[in-house]
Amino acid sequence: QFQKEIKNKSLISKQVGKNPTIHIWDAEKLEAISILKGHHTAGISCVDFSGDGKFLLSVGLDNFHMIVLWDWKRGEKLAITR
């Protein structure tokens, strides 16, 4: 399952299922520029860029609806909460 969102000329795709990933794509070249993984376990319900485009927030489909704040350009998790 994929969801597209256009901000800063980038697209976001997310997955539902075990060990899902988030891909950030260059909207013009249609190439993956970042892949985020390892923190959601049962799928990802929603994603969005911060207003300045520097960060990405994702919400999991697990029982606790884990929220992860990412530095998506570096592929690093900055914070996690539920």
Higher per-residue confidence, 9 vs 32? 32
Residue 67, CB half-sphere, CA atoms under 13 Å: how many? 5
- Show the tokens assigned to 70: 């990412």
28 or 81, which is more confident? 81
pLDDT surpasses 90 at 2:
no
